[in-house]
Amino acid sequence: MIKVEDITWVRYRAPDLKLMAEFLADFGLQPVASTEDKLFMRAYGRMPVAHITERGPAGQIGFGLKARSRADLEKIALELGAPVERRTEPGGGDVVTVTDPDGTRIEIVHGLEYPGPLESRAAFAFNPKNARVRYNGTVRVKSAPSFVQRLGHVALFTGRFAAMKSFYTDVLGMRVSDEYYVGPSTNVMATFLHCGLDDEFVDHHTVALIGNGRTGFEHCAFEVTDLDDVMSGNAFLVSRNRWTHSWGIGRHVEGSQIFDYWRDPFGNKIEHWTDGDLVNDHYQVGRKEFSPEKSLSQWGPSVTQDFLDP
Ligand SMILES: [Fe+2]
């Protein structure tokens, strides 16, 4: 087993890179580089690239995970019989490319070069009752795309739930945060996995698995600056009058994020979120019965058919 400590980028395929770039710019990502066949977009945070699209029939290819150390990278190469290769894409570094049991491409990387964060806006200070912090100050929100800070997680459909869970936990060292079952409590159909780094606090889930018989991405999710950034980013995307909203704004149960889901021009679900839970390996694992009404959100509009559709 190795340890991975973060998710790096998602990699899709699409027939029209210009259209993808236009959507992602409105979503709040920034261009890094583009060639005839590849589009590289980044967030405002330190990761050199967060979203990669390759020209081709619309689809999903996979995602990257950051190995905790060089030794972890070499270990996974040995365990899975894949070479350590030099990356030639933005960020450089070394990569071991493997596939999970569903055939999703996983790029395990180490030694990325970080270009430094882009200039963003600071999170607004909130003035909740009994915890005032903003005095002689104001909040002024500009109409603009969200200031997307980083890729946070992917959720994957799977028809091989046990094999997929075993791959992400036994091979990549992830740990269960929460799970859902349907029918008997042994019939677990969804699991939320965090990077297992012992005492270190990480996102509640970096990978979520949903065992509904399909394969592929259910969605990918990007962390924005704060609550205003979710709301104003939504207003900006609505104002463009050319993109498809999927579901939101609401607050999730598992992970607690305030969320807003959109569809990219090729039908992929993509999420803005803020205010997620941080957990470590001492988190009390939850196991509950799944309910579409209660398990997906604590407040917000009822779940939409678009969100439930793959
Ligand atoms: Fe999500």
CA 194 to centroid of chain Cα atoms = 12
User: For residue 284, is pLDDT > 90?
Assistant: yes
> Tens digits of per-residue pLDDT, 154-192?
999 999 999 999 999 999 999 999 999 999 999 999 999
- Kindly give the distance from the C-alpha atom of residue 16 to the centroid of ligand 1, in angstroms, as a whole number: 25
Which positions ≥6 away from 152 have C-beta within 8 Å? 7, 203, 206, 221, 222, 223, 273, 276
What is d(CA 150, CA 295) in angstroms, rounded to the nearest whole number? 25
> Tens digits of per-residue pLDDT, 141-157?
999 999 999 999 999 99
- Kindly give the distance from the C-alpha atom of residue 79 to the centroid of ligand 1, in angstroms, as a whole number: 30
**What residue ranges define each of the domains in the chain, with the CATH number in brackets?**
4-113+148-308 (3.10.180.10)
Radius of gyration of the chain (CA): 19
Region 260-268 average pLDDT: 98
Region 252-274 average pLDDT: 98
- Kindly give the distance from the C-alpha atom of residue 185 to the centroid of ligand 1, in angstroms, as a whole number: 24
pTM: 0.97
C-beta of residue 208 within 8 angstroms of C-beta of residue 218:
yes
Residue 116 pLDDT class (50, 70, 90 cuts):
confident
- Kindly give the distance from the C-alpha atom of residue 154 to the centroid of ligand 1, in angstroms, as a whole number: 7
Q: What are 163's two structure tokens?
A: 């094999």
User: Tell me, what's the pLDDT at 309?
Assistant: 87
User: Tell me, what's the pLDDT at 22?
Assistant: 98
> Tens digits of per-residue pLDDT, 191-231?
999 999 999 999 999 999 999 889 999 999 999 999 999 99
Mean confidence (pLDDT) of the chain: 97
Sign of CA dihedral 135, 141, 147, 153: positive
16-47: burial string, b at 16+ Cβ within 10 Å, e else: ebeebbebbebbbbbebeeeeeebbbbbbbeb
CB neighbour class for 123 (10 Å; exposed up to 12, middle 13-18, buried from 19): middle
